[in-house]
């Protein structure tokens, strides 16, 4: 069954049409990239799908069920997790405690006024696994606010991962990063996709990253779908080249 | 494991509080002053559950402090309740009020939240001020005093024996503080920290933000009303000032001065505040200007509060 089915989704802010009848289908196991020039509406599209604000029209279905008007929390419970272009973490908590919050919530302990030894041990194991996956094992007791930008991003992705999402949404995971950090994040995303089988939808600016990672690419321009296809098809698409690649290809 | 406290500091504070009535006189204080430090310390720590550990500023906590005070006082005066039932009555009244008002204001954020907490707080102030026949109006509620504590096997005369009352207050203080410490260190407490740290991230981890802020507000008011009830018992009296917003402001000052990111900070802040108030007000009516000056200096030189400054570099 199609995991995420977006049907003619639109968002208007006053007279501005930020998203104009965008449709999209993401299959389980897929890695889908969304690209487009600045102001194309990529992040707005993410915000609509993840429930940050409601669409003006159109619908979103997740695992066959209509979720267009559900709250963020309800979408999270159904298996959507996302990161943000500007990293959203808990800066004054340690790396381990950032992950602990996420793991405890995922396991349904969010309201527990105490926690047993056995449960704590299981949660500890899961935190260790996440630390290893995110290459953060040596930094578990460091306050997240003191980490490098790349490591903060890794913490954010690991928190999203702690929810064991059916769909992982990454908004420009390599934004503002140097070459080494970009490389590390790309490697991490590829591992999550290829080896752990996560379904991932990501927004990306860096073309090398996109053509390297994606199974399928959707190109947005001025709120509309300009093209959709495999990296090869997109690279050969003249409309895309004119609107986007022509000016920013490196 | 401990996210917000150091074990050694716990022991130090416990020792200081257990022995306070015995050294208070040596530094020019008296037992009642020690009790006031405990009571205001509990109030400031309760406020800080919301302020420091959920990241939500309330300028209206005096309302629930005062409801606890009036509830306990009225239970003794009109219902001839014993000490424990009187405290329970005050706490219950304040907690119900907090649950209702909290539900109305929890969608506000930041300074807007603070403003509506003041507005609702003043409603209770004027109620106490105006409703002469029940509350005693501006003169306060007199004609009652705290009752000896019946323990079943013995009676503890907390009315005449200052030290006995101090230790009774210390027991209530310890129960409340232990409960708050447990909550803060629990998974529930961590979701509150998460909200303080980053509301958007918490939300996208599945935390229903408004519901959790409401819970934190009600819990915070529950404990602050226990402090209010003890305050009425301490003075054998209560008046509308126990509900007024300047008291709310003082609680915020205590928390910030002592260090709102540390568990014990507000207690230290309350100690400084109450001691200054006592010493300075015996020399000048303008004691508040001295406290104001100290507050400015603390905030200038120790932006994380006294305790925050002592524990710099640690995850507090």
Pairs across A and B, CB distance < 8 A: 85
Helix (H, G, I), strand (E, B) or coil at A171: strand
Closest CA to B5 of B316, B257, B307: B316
Kindly list the residues from chain B whose CB atom is less than 8 angstroms away from the CB atom of residue A105.
187, 191, 205-207
d(CA B280, CA A105): 49
Read off the pTM: 0.93
How close A239 comes to chain B (CA, Å)? 36
B273 part of a folded domain: no
B266 part of a folded domain: no
Range of the domain at B56: 29-244
d(CA A124, CA A147): 21
Average pLDDT of the segment spanning B19-26:
92
Q: Which of B187, B193, B197 sits opposite A110 (nearest CB)?
A: B187
Helix (H, G, I), strand (E, B) or coil at B39: helix
Closest CA to A102 of B76, B141, B74, B198: B198
Element containing residue A200 per DSSP (H, E): strand A200-203
Residue ranges of domains in chain A: 1-79+165-250, 90-164
Number of domain units in chain B: 1
d(CA B39, CA B217): 19
- Which residue bears the tokens 């802020």? B213
Q: Which of A77, A84, A94 sits opposite B206 (nearest CB)?
A: A77
B291 part of a folded domain: no
**Token duo for residue B164:** 């006995």
Query: Each residue of B49-96: pLDDT tens digit?
Result: 999 999 999 999 999 999 999 999 999 999 999 999 999 999 999 999
**Token duo for residue B77:** 């005066």
Helix (H, G, I), strand (E, B) or coil at A55: coil
Total residue length of chain A: 250
Considering the four listed CATH numbers 3.40.50.261, 3.40.50.970, 3.40.50.300, 3.30.465.10, the one that applies to the domain covering A1-79+165-250 is: 3.40.50.300
Q: Do A93 and B197 touch (CB under 8 A)?
A: yes
d(CA A83, CA B93): 43
d(CA B32, CA A154): 54
Q: Which of A82, A93, A143 sits opposite B193 (nearest CB)?
A: A93
Question: A177: Cβ–Cβ under 8 A, 6 or more apart, which residues?
Answer: A149, A150, A153, A185
The answer to whether the CB of B59 falls within 8 A of the CB of B248 is yes
Q: Which residue of B has its CA nearest to A165?
A: B205
Helix (H, G, I), strand (E, B) or coil at A62: strand
- Which residue bears the tokens 């003249």? A238
Closest CA to B125 of B138, B134, B113: B138
Averaged over successive runs of 10 residues, the pLDDT of chain A (250 residues) comes to 96 95 97 92 96 96 96 97 96 97 97 95 98 96 95 97 97 91 93 96 87 93 94 89 60
Kindly list the residues from chain A whose CB atom is less than 8 angstroms away from the CB atom of residue B191.
101, 104-105, 110-111
B219 part of a folded domain: yes
Residue A76 has phi, psi (to 5 degrees) of -60, -45
Query: Each residue of B95-153: pLDDT tens digit?
Result: 999 999 999 999 998 899 999 999 999 999 999 999 988 888 888 998 999 998 888 88
* Interface list for chain A against chain B, based on CB atoms closer than 8 Å: 50, 72-73, 76-77, 81-82, 84, 88-94, 97, 100-102, 104-106, 109-115, 143, 156, 159-160, 163
ipTM given for this complex: 0.94
């Amino acid at each position: 069954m199609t995991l995420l089915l977006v049907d003619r989704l639109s968002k208007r802010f006053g007279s501005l049409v930020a998203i104009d009848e965008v449709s999209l289908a993401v299959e389980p196991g897929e890695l889908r990239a969304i690209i487009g020039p600045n102001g194309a509406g990529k992040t707005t599209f993410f915000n609509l799908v993840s429930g940050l604000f409601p669409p003006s029209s159109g619908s979103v279905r997740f695992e066959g069920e209509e979720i267009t008007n559900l709250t963020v929390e309800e979408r999270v419970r159904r298996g959507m997790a996302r990161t943000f272009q500007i990293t959203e973490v808990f800066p004054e908590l340690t790396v381990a405690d950032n992950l602990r919050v996420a793991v405890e919530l995922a396991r349904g302990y969010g309201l527990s006024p105490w926690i047993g030894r056995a449960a704590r041990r299981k949660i500890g194991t899961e935190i260790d696994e996440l630390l290893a996956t995110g290459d953060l094992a040596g930094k578990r007791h460091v306050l997240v606010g003191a980490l490098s930008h790349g490591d903060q991003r890794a913490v954010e992705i690991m928190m999203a991962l702690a929810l064991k999402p059916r769909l992982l949404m990454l908004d420009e995971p390599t934004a503002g990063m140097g070459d080494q950090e970009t490389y590390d994040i790309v490697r991490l995303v590829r591992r999550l996709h290829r080896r752990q089988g996560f379904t991932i939808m990501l927004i990306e600016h860096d073309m090398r990253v996109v053509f390297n990672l994606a199974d399928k690419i959707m190109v947005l321009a001025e709120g509309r779908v300009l093209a959709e296809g495999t990296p090869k098809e997109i690279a050969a698409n003249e409309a895309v080249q004119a609107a986007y690649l022509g000016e920013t290809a490196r | 494991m401990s996210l917000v406290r150091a074990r050694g500091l716990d022991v130090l504070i416990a020792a200081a509080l257990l022995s306070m009535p015995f050294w208070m006189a040596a530094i020019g204080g008296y037992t009642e002053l020690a009790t006031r430090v405990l009571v205001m310390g509990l109030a400031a720590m309760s406020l800080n559950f919301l302020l420091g550990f959920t990241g939500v500023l309330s300028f209206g906590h005096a309302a629930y402090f005062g409801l606890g005070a009036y509830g306990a006082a009225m239970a003794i005066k009109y219902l001839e309740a014993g000490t424990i039932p009187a405290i329970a009555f005050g706490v219950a009244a304040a907690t119900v009020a907090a649950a209702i008002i909290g539900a109305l204001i929890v969608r506000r954020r930041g300074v807007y939240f603070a403003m509506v907490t003041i507005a609702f707080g003043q409603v209770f102030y004027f109620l106490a001020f105006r409703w002469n026949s029940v509350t005693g109006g501006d003169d306060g509620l007199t004609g009652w005093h705290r009752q000896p504590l019946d323990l079943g096997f013995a009676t503890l005369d907390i009315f005449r024996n200052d030290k006995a009352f101090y230790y009774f207050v210390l027991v209530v203080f310890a129960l409340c503080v232990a409960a708050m410490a447990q909550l803060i260190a629990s998974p529930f407490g961590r979701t509150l920290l998460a909200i303080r740290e980053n509301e958007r991230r918490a939300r996208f981890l599945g935390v229903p933000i408004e519901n959790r802020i409401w819970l934190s507000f009600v819990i915070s008011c529950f404990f602050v009303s226990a402090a209010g009830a003890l305050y009425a018992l301490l003075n054998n009296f209560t008046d509308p000032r126990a509900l007024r917003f300047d008291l709310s402001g003082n609680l915020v000052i205590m928390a910030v001065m002592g260090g709102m990111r540390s568990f014990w900070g507000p207690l230290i802040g309350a100690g400084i505040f109450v001691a200054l108030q006592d010493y300075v007000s015996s020399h000048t009516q303008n004691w508040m200007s001295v406290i104001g000056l100290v507050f400015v200096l603390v905030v200038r030189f120790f932006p994380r509060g006294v305790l925050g400054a002592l524990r710099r570099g640690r995850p507090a």
